[in-house]
Structure 1
Amino acid sequence: MTQLVEKRTGNGTKIKKVRNLVLKIIGAIVIAIVLFLGIVYITNVISSHSEAKRIEPYGQLVSVDGKNMNVFIQGEGEETVVLLPGYGTAAPALDFKLLIDELSPFYKVVAVEPFGYGLSDGTEKERTTENIVSEVHEALQQLNIDRYTLMGHSIAGIYGIDYVNKYSDEVTAFVGIDSSVPTQPGMDAKLPINTFAFLKKSGLLRLATKLSGDSYAGLAFDDQTVEQMKMISNKNMYTPTTLNEMEHISSNFKEAQALTFPKDLPLLLFVQANNEGVEGWIPLHEGQIKDSVHGKVVTMDGSHYLHHTHFKEIAENFRAFMKKVNGVPSIN
């Protein structure tokens, strides 16, 4: 009997020791995670403060709805091209730099940075298509720009189709750079907005971006521009303004489904040839031009950011297209 009690006591002691060991290990892991998150958070705060001082201004600030919207202008051509960014393009004027340099010898090029982008202020106003389009238009009005081609990347295809219908007397043509189509599938998905907000505030987003490698490697951007784009990206990614825009993506796409491009509006669409993420990507764009008097789809091999690698071809094709629309004979 005594031996049995001693055995049970011994087993109980061993279990208690194992339990204590497990608890210590769990405690150590929790402490390590807390320390890791603390270091990541503090590093992000320090880095953000440091980078804010190193971001170099460009363009000019225009007063819109009581806030500052940044607009970059290059070139002195008689015709004007207005550039609009895709969703989440942190520094539009810099992101479009290679294309701007190709267009500006022939056109006045205006890169608009909507609220929450580039060096523009953020805003608490809902990021509906109606508000975004109205704000961009107001910025152009402030600059006395009232006749122009609208050229937009990605989600600018959604804002652009609304824009050209509202301001048809101002827009001379629409050019899409792998632009979104209102009826493309998958745009009603629920996005984890709170998770993105946490990643931003915690500093984990900065860490993930750093570990993911250099997305600008091998591109024609100079080192200074790349450094500026990375710092502005750290500042603008998943801010309340851009998260609000993300929240409205589904409804903005849905509302655009009732719209089509005006038949008499010249429509040039540069489309990624190998987009495997969206079913029927090329036919979707071909459907947009089928009733256009002047409509053309140009497919290009490359990533969604076609203007990073095909900026020369985009500029050349655009010039040739507009000459044909305007009845100007080509010179070989």
Structure 2
Amino acid sequence: MGTSVKLDEKYNDLQYISVNNKNICVQKIGSGEEVIVLLHGGGVSAPIMEYRGLTKLLSEKYTCFSIEFLGYGFSEGTQVPRTIENIVEELHCIIGQIGCKQFTLIAHSIAGVYALYYLNKYKNDVASFVGIDSSVPKQNDFVNVEKATVVSWHVTNFLSKVGIMKLISKLGDTFIPKINGITWTKEERILLKEMFLESCTNKTVLNEFKNITKNFEKARNLSYPPNIPVLFILATGTLKQIKPWKEIHQYIIGDKVNSKIVFLEGTHFLHYKCSEQIVEELEVWKSEILSSCIRR
């Protein structure tokens, strides 16, 4: 992504991996023996920056790789259709190049569906999966995700073309995410606004939105492989919007051993305000899995 802002030392750990002649941005943070790979949700303008609160905590124990899909953040855009097959193959290529094996995969929002597809295709890559208010294919039965996201994109795109979004960005910090434990520098605030304004006209993301229903249907009959424990950390705010939010997540894990669902008080973007609780739940769950293995 082109930006007028010079990145400071906090972004020296960004690396660019070429996939089909397009650069995908990956941030590596931490040096722990165990590896975590983080995937972001749809329509997020600055994924690596917005994950900062969570990766800051996780990096105290783990080696964390945050991957920005094509069309997001510091990554390049693409005209390659945003089908679930293409997205998952790009992800597999990235993971192969950074050398991750037997890692914990963490996905937020729509990336949960991509992760489900990935786990079924590459069963031996992943040791465990954590969904942060992550999507499951059956949610499309209760809310038209594609329609909502496409309409939202067109509205913001129109407001951007007539200059309203740029005006709003100059008047205040409406587009600056408020994340617990993170204080943005002046340069970062400018960068976040630039990234948001660029996302308003992002055709790569629009193509992803237009493929949501088809992508969800392609994953509809999938379940998590028996050997991969699953932790769903869901938001009470989403439960109010989608009443069977717990049930559709319970359905997809069934009675899988070492899998668990917990709720945290908050909105869909739990990692903005609840990063500490997310890490705590992750550690409790991992200790439960270890204890279970010892008993067996």
**Same fold by TM-score, threshold 0.5 exceeded?**
yes
User: 2:198, 2:86 → 1: CA distance?
Assistant: 23
Task: Figure out how many residues of one structure are paired with residues of the other and give that number.
Answer: 281
Percent identical:
34
Aligned equivalent of 2:137, options 175, 182, 200: 182
Q: One-letter code of the match for 1:187?
A: N
Tell me, yes or no, if the aligned pair for 1:262 and 1:292 is still in contact at 8 Å. Answer: no
User: 1:226, 1:325 → 2: CA distance?
Assistant: 40
Q: How does 1:38-187 map to 2 (within 5 A)?
A: 52-54=3-5, 56=7, 58=11, 59-184=14-139, 185-187=142-144
Tell me, yes or no, if the aligned pair for 1:172 and 1:265 is still in contact at 8 Å. Answer: yes
**Deviation digits for residues 117-167 of structure 1 (CA, Å, limit 9, x no counterpart):** 110000000001111111111111111223211101000111111011111
Tell me, yes or no, if the aligned pair for 1:264 and 1:294 is still in contact at 8 Å. Answer: no
Q: How does 1:227-242 map to 2 (within 5 A)?
A: 227-242=190-205
User: 1:279, 1:306 → 2: CA distance?
Assistant: 18
CA 299–135 in structure 1, closer or farther in 2 if over 3 Å, else same: same
Tell me, yes or no, if the aligned pair for 2:34 and 2:62 is still in contact at 8 Å. Answer: yes
Q: How much does 1:206 deviate?
A: 3.3
**Deviation digits for residues 171-216 of structure 1 (CA, Å, limit 9, x no counterpart):** 1111000001110122365333655544444433434566796353
**Deviation digits for residues 32-59 of structure 1 (CA, Å, limit 9, x no counterpart):** xxxxxxxxxxxxxxxx99xx21152731
User: 1:160, 1:138 → 2: CA distance?
Assistant: 14
Tell me, yes or no, if the aligned pair for 1:173 and 1:266 is still in contact at 8 Å. Answer: yes
Structure 1 position 323 matched with structure 2 position 280: no
Match of 2:270 in 1: 306
User: 1:207, 1:284 → 2: CA distance?
Assistant: 41
Q: One-letter code of the match for 1:204?
A: I
Q: How much does 1:90 deviate?
A: 1.2
Secondary structure in structure 1 of the residue aligned to 2:41 = coil
Tell me, yes or no, if the aligned pair for 2:47 and 2:68 is still in contact at 8 Å. Answer: yes
Q: One-letter code of the match for 1:54?
A: V
User: 2:172, 2:263 → 1: CA distance?
Assistant: 29
CA 264–233 in structure 1, closer or farther in 2 if over 3 Å, else same: same
CA 135–202 in structure 1, closer or farther in 2 if over 3 Å, else same: farther
CA root-mean-square deviation = 2.5
Tell me, yes or no, if the aligned pair for 1:199 and 1:205 is still in contact at 8 Å. Answer: yes
User: 1:156, 1:134 → 2: CA distance?
Assistant: 14
User: 1:243, 1:284 → 2: CA distance?
Assistant: 26
Tell me, yes or no, if the aligned pair for 1:86 and 1:154 is still in contact at 8 Å. Answer: yes
CA 302–144 in structure 1, closer or farther in 2 if over 3 Å, else same: same
User: 2:154, 2:270 → 1: CA distance?
Assistant: 30
Tell me, yes or no, if the aligned pair for 1:263 and 1:292 is still in contact at 8 Å. Answer: yes
Question: What is the TM-score with the length of structure 1 in the denominator?
Answer: 0.77
User: 2:285, 2:180 → 1: CA distance?
Assistant: 26
Question: What is the TM-score with the length of structure 2 in the denominator?
Answer: 0.86
Q: One-letter code of the match for 1:168?
A: K
User: 1:87, 1:218 → 2: CA distance?
Assistant: 18
CA 210–183 in structure 1, closer or farther in 2 if over 3 Å, else same: farther
User: 1:85, 1:235 → 2: CA distance?
Assistant: 17
